[in-house]
Structures are given as C-alpha cells and as structure tokens.
Amino acid sequence: MIPEVIKSIDFIIKVNTRVAESVGFMYVSYLSNIFADLLRMYGLYSQCISNSVRSRTNEHMIKPMK
C-alpha cells in the first residue's frame, strides 16, 4: 500500500473514533451508513498486511537462537 493512503486511512479511523467518543449513542446512526464500507476497507487493509508478510522470507521472521 502507498504510505499516503495508509496515513489517510489512519486519519479517517482516528477521526471516526473521536467523533464516536464525543457524540456517543447518536453515532450509531452514522455508523450504520458507513459500516459496509468500513468492513471492506478493513478487509483490504488486512489483505495488504497479509500479502506483505507472506512476501517476506522466513529469515526475517525467525529470531536467531543465542
């Protein structure tokens, strides 16, 4: 993923979290409108992380024994 895209997604999540905390229960109405989009975004984000981990060699993931 492009670093700018990751920063934008992070910003959107943080803003939504702050709004939810300050607005409270009324946020549920808004959340119901964006819920499907959030699920898709989290799924794509998770897939990118998984692909990144999968593309690395096992050498980077295993700590050497002392």
User: Is residue 5 over pLDDT 90?
Assistant: no
Range of the domain at 40: 3-52
Number of structural domains (the chain) is 1
Q: What is the pLDDT of residue 62?
A: 58
Residue 13 lies inside a defined structural domain of this protein:
yes
Tokens of 3: 């670093």
pLDDT digits (tens, 9 = 90+) for 6-62: 788 889 889 989 999 999 998 888 889 988 988 898 888 888 788 877 877 655 555
Confidence class for position 66, pLDDT limits 50, 70, 90:
low
Contact indicator for 9, 41 with CB cutoff of 8 Å: yes
pTM summary value: 0.57
Residue 61 lies inside a defined structural domain of this protein:
no
Residue 15 lies inside a defined structural domain of this protein:
yes
Residue 46 lies inside a defined structural domain of this protein:
yes
Contact indicator for 27, 19 with CB cutoff of 8 Å: yes
Residue 58 lies inside a defined structural domain of this protein:
no
Residue 7 lies inside a defined structural domain of this protein:
yes
